[in-house]
Amino acid sequence: MSIIEKAASRIEHKKGEAQDAPAAPAAAHPAAPVAAAIAEAPAAVPAAAPVHAPTAVPTAVPTAVPTAVPRRTSNHVELDLERMHGIGLVTAAGGRTTLVEDFRIIKRPLLKRAFAARGPGEKPGNLIMVTSSLPGEGKTFCSINLAMSIAMELDHTVLLIDADVARPSVLRTLGLPAHRGLMDILLDDKLDMADVMLRTNVNTLSILPAGSNNPRATELLASQAMSTFVYEIANRYPDRIVIFDSPPLLLTSEAHVLASHMGQIALVVEAEGTTQHAVKESLRQLEGCSNVNLIYNKTREFPGTETYDYHYG
Ligand SMILES: Nc1ncnc2c1ncn2[C@@H]1O[C@H](COP(=O)(O)OP(=O)(O)OP(=O)(O)O)[C@@H](O)[C@H]1O
Ligand SMILES: [Mg+2]
């Protein structure tokens, strides 16, 4: 059995178990820990085929980000760590919770590869894309938690980029107002990353918001301007871990173009949610990408459950 099949059959197995016992809604358990499974997907996956979203899946809904977000003089934001802890996000303030432990496990292999020697033509390992098959599987939750978890380490700095430009939610999840960001840089040659990047009260964490809403947002992700931008990021911040919260792979064709620039991919799989078929299709989309990992999210139904559920591929 290939590693994909093993991972997918585990997911199917979990799903079967879950159907026996009805799952509690995620919103009712905001602090329910993640995941905790990170498995490396195989380098070779079956040939890529165009994938269309199942009709039952909600289509992209524009978020409340205004078309032109205000220019701000200060590029410093205060993360409300207590609020973050309260909604189930990783913070240093929260102590050693199971969630913090989960992300320690998840980040370890990603960090190991982030600064490993690169072969010719290999993408920078410090560029990590967090994606999933469909909306709502936990990309933003995992991106923020991964960023926080890595930023809490003494010797790593992190840049969290909201590249889910059609449905940005990093700032909203963090309780921060809209701010210029990635879209503005892509649309305005004169704008520099430093003009829009937000420093935070977590000294080792900066955020690049998605920026102004634009009807061409998704298409811009696959543009030459975006390739140039990612190349620039890689050159400018070779010592930083750069995490891209990204659109779902099976709803747009652009997400896999973004994936092609990344040194590592974390594919979020929602326990009891993502189907085996969706995982396989996503892995096909990621064919040719280096270092594809699976994060098995929402594995625990109740916060505070101390039983760990780690799987390694
Ligand atoms: N491990 C988890 N435990 C509890 N709640 C979770 C977990 N992961 C995600 N959630 C919750 O599930 C919901 C969807 O998560 P999130 O917004 O991260 O998904 P997403 O994949 O980024 O969605 P979208 O595609 O719409 O951007 C949120 O309410 C989030 O707080
Ligand atoms: Mg999201």
Burial class (CB in 10 A: 0-12, 13-18, 19+), 203: exposed
Task: Give the confidence band of 96 by pLDDT, cuts at 50, 70, 90.
Answer: confident
For the chain, give every domain's residue range: 3-297
Q: Which residue has the higher pLDDT, 301 or 168?
A: 168
Pocket of ligand 1 (CB under 6 A): 26-27, 29-30, 32-35, 88, 132, 135-141, 164, 167, 169, 248, 297-298
Mean pLDDT of 121-134: 96
pLDDT tens track for 31-80 = 344 544 566 665 443 332 222 323 233 333 334 444 566 555 569 999 99
pLDDT tens track for 227-255 = 999 999 999 999 999 999 999 999 988 89
Mean pLDDT of 135-156: 95
Site to probe by mutation for ligand 1, drawn from 141, 164, 297 as the one with most ligand atoms within 8 Å of Cβ, is 141
pLDDT above 70 coverage of the chain, percent: 72
Residue nearest to atom 8 of ligand 1 (CA): 138
Total residue count of the chain as it appears in this document: 313
Q: Which residue has the higher pLDDT, 225 or 40?
A: 225
Q: Cα Rg for the chain, rounded, in angstroms?
A: 18
| Whether pLDDT at 28 is above 70 | no
Q: Which residue has the higher pLDDT, 154 or 278?
A: 278
Q: Which residue has the higher pLDDT, 254 or 129?
A: 129
| Whether pLDDT at 275 is above 70 | yes
Task: Give the confidence band of 101 by pLDDT, cuts at 50, 70, 90.
Answer: very high
> Is the pTM above the cut of 0.85?
no
Q: What is the rounded distance in angstroms from the CA atom of residue 97 to the CA atom of residue 26?
A: 18
pLDDT tens track for 163-180 = 999 999 999 999 999 999
For residue 141, the ligand 1 atom closest to its alpha carbon is 18
Mean pLDDT of 199-216: 95
The DSSP secondary structure of 145-210, one letter per residue, reads HHHHHHHTSTT-EEEEEE--TTS--HHHHTT------HHHHHH-TT--HHHHPEEESSTTEEEE--
Q: What is the rounded distance in angstroms from the CA atom of residue 224 to the CA atom of residue 298?
A: 36
Q: What is the mean pLDDT of the chain?
A: 80
Site to probe by mutation for ligand 1, drawn from 102, 140, 243, 272 as the one with most ligand atoms within 8 Å of Cβ, is 140
Please give the pLDDT value at position 218.
87
Please give the pLDDT value at position 26.
35
For residue 173, the ligand 1 atom closest to its alpha carbon is 17
**Which residue's structure tokens are 């999933």?**
132
Q: Which residue has the higher pLDDT, 96 or 278?
A: 278
* Cβ contacts of 41 within 8 Å, gap of 6 or more: 3, 4, 7, 267, 283, 286, 292, 293, 294, 313
Please give the pLDDT value at position 253.
85
204 and 158 Cβ atoms separated by less than 8 Å: yes
Residue nearest to atom 6 of ligand 1 (CA): 26
Mean pLDDT of 146-158: 94
| Whether pLDDT at 220 is above 70 | yes
| Assigned architecture for domain 3-297 | 3-Layer(aba) Sandwich (3.40)
Please give the pLDDT value at position 97.
85
Kindly give the distance from the C-alpha atom of residue 168 to the centroid of ligand 2, in angstroms, as a whole number: 6
Mean pLDDT of 140-147: 98
Task: Give the confidence band of 131 by pLDDT, cuts at 50, 70, 90.
Answer: very high
Q: Which residue has the higher pLDDT, 14 or 289?
A: 289
